[in-house]
Amino acid sequence: MISKDYKSLELSTQLIIKEALKRKIEVEVLDWEDNFIRLKKGDKVEYIKQATRTSADTYIAPLIMENKEVTKIILKEYGLSVPESLTIRSVEDAMAAYPKFVTKDIVVKPKSTNFGKGITILKKLNSQKEFLDAVQYAFKEDKTLLIEDFIEGKEYRFLVIGDEVPAILHRVPANVKGDGVHSIRELVKIKNQDPLRGKNYVTPLEKINLGHVEEEFLKAQGKDFDYIPKENETVYLRKNSNISTGGDSIDYTDEISDAYKKIAIKAAQAVGAKICGADIIIKNLNEKPSKDNYSIIELNFNPALHIHDYPYIGKNREVEKKVLDLLKF
C-alpha distances (whole Å) from 130 to each of 8, 136, 250 are 40, 10, 31
**Residue 149 three-state SS:** strand
The packing angle between helices 212-220 and 128-139, to 10°, is: 160
DSSP 161-188: ETTEEEEEEEEEPSEEE--SSS-HHHHH
pLDDT at res. 103: 92
**pLDDT tens for each residue of 120-138:** 888 888 889 989 999 999 9
**pLDDT tens for each residue of 217-252:** 999 899 999 999 999 999 999 977 778 889 899 999
List the single range of 14-28, 36-50, 92-106, 176-190 with lowest mean pLDDT. 92-106
In this prediction, residues 77-86 reach a mean pLDDT of 93
Domains detected in the chain? 4-56 (no CATH), 84-150 (3.30.1490.20), 174-246 (no CATH)
Percent of the chain's residues with pLDDT above 90: 71
Backbone angles phi, psi at 166, to 5 degrees: -80, -10
Beta carbons of 309 and 319 less than 8 angstroms apart: yes
Q: What is the dihedral of CA 291, 302, 241, 294, to 10 degrees?
A: 10
